[in-house]
Structure 1
Amino acid sequence: MNKFDERYEIRLANMSDIDNIMNFIDKYWREGHIMSRDKELFKYEYADGDNLNFILAIDKNTELIEGIFGFIRCSNTEDPKRKDIWGSMWKVNDSHDNIPFLGVELAKRVFTLTGCRTHIGNGANPNTTVPLRRLFFGDKVVKMKQYYLLNSYIDDYKIALIKDKNKAISTIPTQNQTNLQEFHSIDEVKKHFDIESIDAIPYKDNWYVNKRYFCHPYYKYNVYGLADNTEKVDALMMTREVKYNGRKVLRIVDYIGNHKLFAGLSKKFDRLIKDNNYEYIDFYTYGFDEESILKAGFKLRIDDDPNVIANYFEPFVRENVDIWAHYKIDGTLFFKADGDQDRPNQFVQN
Structure 2
Amino acid sequence: MGAVRTRLAESRDRDALIEFIRDHWSARHVFVSDPDVFDWQYRQADGRINMMMAEDVAEDGHATVLGVLGFIPTGRFDPDLGDADILLALWKVREDIAPPGLGLRLLKAIQAQLKPRMIGAIGITDAVGPIYRALGYTLDRLSQAAIVNPAFKGRTRLAQGVPEAAFAKGAVDTTRSLCKLDPQRDSDVVAVLAGRCCPQKSWAYIRERYIDHPWYDYDLRFVLHDGRPEALLVWRSVEAEGARILRIVDSIGSTGWLPSGTALLRPVLTEAAAEYIDIMGCGLSAENLQAGGFISPEWCDGLILPNYFAPFEAKNIRIALSWKRFDGAAGADAMCLFRADSDQDRPNQPLPRRTAGSGQAAV
State whether structure 2 residue 209 is matched by structure 1 residue 212: yes
CA deviation map 1:25-56 (0-9, x unaligned):
01111112011231211111111221000011
Secondary structure of the corresponding residue to residue 53 of structure 2: strand
Structure 1 residues 47 and 280: alpha-carbon distance in aligned structure 2, compared to 1, 3 A threshold = same
TM-score by length of 1: 0.89
Change (3 A) 1:106 1:130: same
Paired position in structure 2 for 1:92: 93
Percent of aligned pairs sharing the same letter: 26
1:133 aligned counterpart, secondary structure: helix
Shift of 1:340: 0.4
Note the alpha carbon deviations across 1:160-197, whole angstroms, 9 max, x for none: 112x5225445623334312111253x44314333466
- Find the counterpart in structure 2 of residue 316 from structure 1: 312
Shift in CA distance, 105/303, structure 1 to aligned 2, threshold 3 Å:
farther
CA contact (8 A) 2:171 2:260 kept: no
Name the CA shift for 1:102/1:210 in 2 (closer, same or farther; >3 Å). Answer: same
Q: What is the SS of the residue equivalent to 1:216?
A: coil
Partner of 1:157: 156
Aligned residue for 2:129? 130
Give, in whole Å, the separation in 2 of the partners of 1:18 and 1:246.
Answer: 38
Q: Quick one: structure 1 residues 303 and 346, their matched pair in 2 at CA, closer, same or farther if it must change by over 3 Å?
A: farther
Query: Within 5 Å, which residues of 2 pair with 1:231-250?
Result: 231-250=227-246
Asked whether the equivalents of residues 67 and 102 of structure 2 are also in contact (C-alpha less than 8 Å), the reply is: yes
SS in 1 for 2:63: coil
SS at match of 1:66: strand
- Match 1:145 to one of 137, 143, 146: 143
Deviation of residue 105 (structure 1)?
0.4
Cα distance in 2 for partners of 1:124, 1:12 equals 22
> How many residues are aligned here?
339
TM-score (normalised: structure 2): 0.86
Residue aligned with 1:148, SS: strand
Shift, 1:125, TM fit: 2.0
Task: State how 1:1-350 maps to structure 2 within 5 Å.
Answer: 7-48=3-44, 49-61=46-58, 62-75=62-75, 76=78, 83-96=84-97, 98-126=98-126, 128-135=127-134, 137-154=135-152, 155-162=154-161, 164-169=162-167, 172-183=170-181, 185=183, 187-195=184-192, 198-229=195-226, 231-302=227-298, 305-329=301-325, 330-331=331-332, 332-348=335-351
Comparing 152-161 and 236-245, the one that deviates more:
152-161
Q: Offset of 1:265 from its aligned partner? A: 4.4
Query: What CA deviation, in whole Å up to 9, does each residue of 1:274-307 have, x standing for no partner?
Result: 2322111111111234444333321232177312
Q: 1:200 deviation in Å?
A: 2.4
For each residue in 1:89-129, what CA deviation from the matched residue of structure 2 results, as whole angstroms up to 9, or x when unmatched?
11101122x22010100001111222211110111122x33
**1:254–1:310 Cα change, 3 Å:** same
Deviates more, 1:249-258 or 1:287-296: 287-296
For structure 1, the 5+ residue unaligned runs are none
Q: Label 1:149 to 1:99 Cα distance change in 2 as closer, same or farther (>3 A).
A: same
State which drifts further: 99-108 or 35-44. 35-44
Amino acid paired to 2:190: F
CA RMSD, Structure 1 to Structure 2 (Å)? 2.4
Task: Describe the SS at the equivalent of 1:299.
Answer: coil
Cα distance, 1:150–1:139 mapped onto 2, change above 3 Å: same
Question: Given the superposition, is the C-alpha separation of residues 261 and 246 from structure 1 closer, same or farther in structure 2, using an over 3 Å criterion?
Answer: same
Q: Counterpart of 2:94 in structure 1: which amino acid? A: N
Q: Distance in 2 between matches of 1:286 and 1:171?
A: 27
Q: Distance in 1 between matches of 2:168 and 2:67?
A: 48
Counterpart secondary structure, 1:18: helix
SS at 1:193's partner residue?
helix
